[in-house]
Amino acid sequence: MNLYGDRGNILCLRHRCEARQIALVVDEITLNDPFDPRAYDLIFIGGGQDREQQRIAADLLGKGEAIREAVEADVPALAVCGGYQFFGQYYQAAHGERLPGIGVFEMYTVHPGEVAERCIGNVVAEWEGQRLVGFENHGGRTYLHGSTEPLAHVVAGFGNNGEDGTEGARYRNAFGTYLHGSLLPKNPVLADRLIGLALEHKYGETIELAPLDDTAEDLAREDALAVALRDQAAGSHERLPRRIGRLASWFAGRRAPGGTAGGADLSPARLPVRHGQR
């Protein structure tokens, strides 16, 4: 599945590997393809709406045991939005149908109904002393339990359910999140964490990654951070980045001056749910 540019996460990983002369081979696993848990060092699944999720549900469930085996062997995995929901125990749709998940995470997702407000807008979340940025658009509310811990804690936005302040999930080296955008290009530290874990799984030792020039990535991240915090304060997601000119200036070869983001802690924007959306 590839909604809201989730394939950009693969492009980001490829770029950051090639920049370090790390060979990266990407296999696209589709319907009816076998999945060998011993053949891969990193797993990725993106998001999708009801139609896409219903189409892959049975096939993914058939691959569930192999994916769980890989996760238990510490193969790193990133699951985004609809893929994240399927990595849980089940997803209950707005009309009550329950789709079983593959059970990587001890969590479940419930859509409160088609008249419920969506969780939509820009997100900032605290993760290991840093801030992740992204965009969320989901109707389902996800609740963690057992050994599954949240990936991050919400600063701005809704996160898993808009209630408990959690965003995403983590179990061993598997990461789940609602953050689109794409996630990894604006959060290179998380991208490098996944690459490092993949190399550690392949070679059995921690490998220090060579630093890269992340000037463009940092500018994009700072703009996304500013937008999310301003949207939080204004109660609106339909805004343009206040410092988007800084990023444009960088690409034009004219480095713009720096700045800091700020904002009040108010409720983010909400939109009514649309049929067929997670």
Active-site positions read 81, 180
Neighbours of 57 (CB within 10 A): 16
d(CA 162, CA 175): 19
Q: Are 44 and 9 a contacting pair, CB within 8 Å?
A: yes
C-alpha separations of 90 from 26, 38, 248 in Å: 28, 26, 43
Give, for 272, the enclosing helix (H) or strand (E): strand 270-272
d(CA 45, CA 59): 13
d(CA 278, CA 276): 7
Q: Which residues pair with 124 in a beta bridge?
A: 133, 156
Alpha-carbon dihedral sign for residues 107, 112, 114, 115? negative
